[in-house]
Amino acid sequence: MISPPLLGLIQVSEDTWCQVYSQFYVLYKAGTTLEISAVQGEPPQGKQVPEVSVELPEGYEMTLTGNKKGCLLKRLSFHNNALPVLTINDFSLGAGENGHFTMIRQQGQLYARHIWGTGERYHAVDLRSSFSNGIVTEKFTQQGEQTYLPIPFFMTEQCLGCFVDSTIPVGMDFRDCFSLEKRVNEKTLLHEIWFFGSPQDLLKQFILRTGKPVLPPDWAFGVWISANGWNSDAEVDAQLKALKQYDYPADVMVLEAWSDERTFYRWNGAEHWVNPAEAVRRIREAGLHLILWQIPVIKQEHDGAPGAQLLEDEREAVEKKLCIFLKSGVPYRIPEGVWFSGSLLPDFTNPETLAWWFEKRKYLLDMGVEGFKTDGGEFLLDDTAVLHDGSSGMEAHNQYPGQYIAAYHRFMEENGVRGLTFSRADSTGAQTRPIHWAGDQLSTWNELRSQLQAGISSGLSGVLFWGFDIGGFAGELPSVELYLRATEFGCFSPVMQWHAEPRSGQFYATHEDGFNNDRSPWNLADKLHEPRILEISVKYAKLRKALQPYLIQEAAWCTEHGRPMMAHLCLDFPEDENACACADQYMLGRDLLVCPIVEEGVTVRRVWLPQGIWKHYFTGETCVGGQYREFKCPLDQIIVLERVKENEAGDPCLAN
């Protein structure tokens, strides 16, 4: 990496200035936002100036000079002191062949107590002293610092947020200093948009710039049921019978193992489904909306004969260039060691691919299918790939999941189905193609805490509607306590869904093949010999149905106003430092303060109550905000506080 010298500062127009460096230049355009663009090539014409100070929103001022790299952003404090909030003090470039740069790194300092965003984060909500590599990554369980859903946006409590407008992954590091780093393959090396305002304002500005949110259908806010083992009429009918038997209300059934496991658009054979259309009819008559699992591959079959249809699909995809190709002219195949290795990837930027792919799936909509679990999409791992729209593999890696998911949204819309997708991978613009879920986690307490952090951080990155697998997806069955705490958390989340891995899953080796590892409350009550699981789970499923009108109302409001349904407290209480520092509570909609129990053995939990009057959802106790309170949380009870409107307030309880 080289650090070219600064040659001078010029004013290009009334609102635009340019720092000229050897071999590139940096434009600063000031208005309601601040746009910073590093560009390779000759700078624009303008008047040379030694220094400039520019007023920006929210009391900010930017200073640029002709003899010091980068810029300084100061903010006027309550005491009329201008305090530094951001410094950019260096640009480093990686040089490639023919004088073209291959990488850019921008470094400086960011003076903030809290840094939120960068996508769905499992390891932390506040990224102060942490980082994001910005890369869509398929990581089965225990994601740590990896994520399926990175987004190059962050914000701070200092009324400052940043979006790096890039299709190429952007690394963001907030540890020893503040740095942005990305690879480059075009004239514009880096393009940043800095927003000003409260956290809610910052998030709304980012969402407005990256795509209007889409509102899911009302039924999405009911109760979802799912398990990978439901691969036949008998399995489905057993679940429909259980719903009636246990008086368990449900709205959505997700079938993962419905297909032939080769083409992923044909139902499995008659030994599984005697009449698929009849199976769909029974599901719908039970009051359930049906979602089917999908994966964006033309599969390389490793476990048996591929079958004539899959071979024909592969031949046609290659001959007609419906799949992604490499620059060398050969089809791209998923590398060894990666899920679905050897498979081709359909090119969703090609209109002919879209027509071919969805013509094979339209009959599913005609049957009554109303959504698709759009799994995967993290598989484009070769920079030399070239898509139909001209983008490279480097540009398309993070974009591919969104292209795939958006194609399914359009497919349903064009066929008159108001459905949804349920996706784990995505990137910028995810709010335009809901809903997303946390992907694959083990049934452990550590993973439950990670799910909570993932949900809150997703919201802080513009993902409005999010869910997780109650009790975990993989490994040994959850304990009674873990499952019930997750059920309570799920009830007060945007999506309430339980799900389980295949019955011979890779973390599930202590039981015989075919052991029923469903995370349904009836199965767990049986396997764990604990009837309370069923009793309490039915209670929360019915509570979810009672909440559904509120959730539908709040979903519409969130969509209109660019607010996550599962919202960090900083969005509503930005002046409250305790609220800003809180990473294990959230607002569900505008009126419910949710405090999940994610530690084993906890029966009392400390909660921060922001300003206002709050009423305990279960006990009816009324409390005044602006204080910490401890609440009892027996096994059948999550801590939820309802915001009390002023004219509804009773006598507030005093602090202990």
Contact 455, 441 (CB under 8 A): no
Q: Which two tokens stand for residue 519?
A: 């995370």
Q: Is the pLDDT of residue 80 over 80?
A: no
According to the CATH classification, is domain 6-210 in 2.60.40.1760?
A: yes
**pTM of the predicted model as reported, rounded to 2 decimal places:** 0.96
- According to CATH, what is the number of the domain 218-561? 3.20.20.80
Q: Is the pLDDT of residue 143 over 60?
A: yes
What is the mean predicted confidence (pLDDT) over 13-30? 97
What is the mean predicted confidence (pLDDT) over 75-95? 85
| CATH T-level topology, domain 568-648 | Immunoglobulin-like (2.60.40)
pLDDT recorded at residue 508: 56
pLDDT recorded at residue 511: 62
Q: Is the pLDDT of residue 350 over 80?
A: yes
pLDDT recorded at residue 652: 44
Hey, what long-range contacts does 46-55 have (CB within 8 A, 24 or more apart)?
A: 46/10, 46/11, 46/12, 46/13, 46/17, 46/18, 47/10, 47/11, 48/8, 48/9, 48/10, 49/9, 49/10, 49/11, 49/17, 50/9, 51/9, 52/9, 52/11, 52/17, 54/17, 54/28, 54/30
CA atoms within 13 A of residue 202's CA, in its CB half-sphere: 31
The closest of 110, 180, 144, 235 to 514, measured between CA atoms, is 235
pLDDT recorded at residue 205: 98
pLDDT band of residue 649 (cuts 50, 70, 90) is: very low
pLDDT recorded at residue 184: 95
pLDDT band of residue 304 (cuts 50, 70, 90) is: confident
pLDDT band of residue 76 (cuts 50, 70, 90) is: confident
Answer whether 6-210 and 218-561 agree in fold: no
What is the mean predicted confidence (pLDDT) over 231-243? 98
The region of weakest confidence among 31-45, 82-96, 320-334, 581-595 is 82-96
pLDDT band of residue 656 (cuts 50, 70, 90) is: very low
Domain residue spans in the chain?
6-210, 218-561, 568-648
Q: Which residues pair with 20 in a beta bridge?
A: 8, 25
Beta-strand runs (E) in 96-187: 101-110, 115-119, 131-132, 150-156, 160-164, 170-173, 178-183
Contact 427, 402 (CB under 8 A): yes
pLDDT recorded at residue 504: 74
Name the DSSP class of 423: B
Tens digit of pLDDT for each residue in 510-559? 566 668 999 999 999 999 999 999 999 999 999 999 999 999 999 999 99
- Residue 312's CB is within 10 A of a number of other CB atoms, namely 12
The C-alpha atoms of residue 451 and residue 486 are separated, in whole angstroms, by: 10
* Residue 435 phi, psi dihedral angles, 5° rounding: -115, 165
The C-alpha atoms of residue 545 and residue 557 are separated, in whole angstroms, by: 19
Q: Is the pLDDT of residue 29 over 60?
A: yes
What is the mean predicted confidence (pLDDT) over 68-72? 96
Radius of gyration of the chain (CA): 26
Tens digit of pLDDT for each residue in 177-218? 999 999 998 899 999 999 999 999 999 999 999 999 999 999
Contact 157, 389 (CB under 8 A): no
Q: Which residue has the tokens 């260096």?
A: 90
pLDDT band of residue 509 (cuts 50, 70, 90) is: low
pLDDT recorded at residue 655: 37
Sign of the alpha-carbon dihedral angle for 304, 308, 312, 315:
positive
Name the DSSP class of 511: S
Which H or E run contains 551? Answer: helix 531-561
Beta-strand runs (E) in 432-542: 436-437, 466-470, 495-498
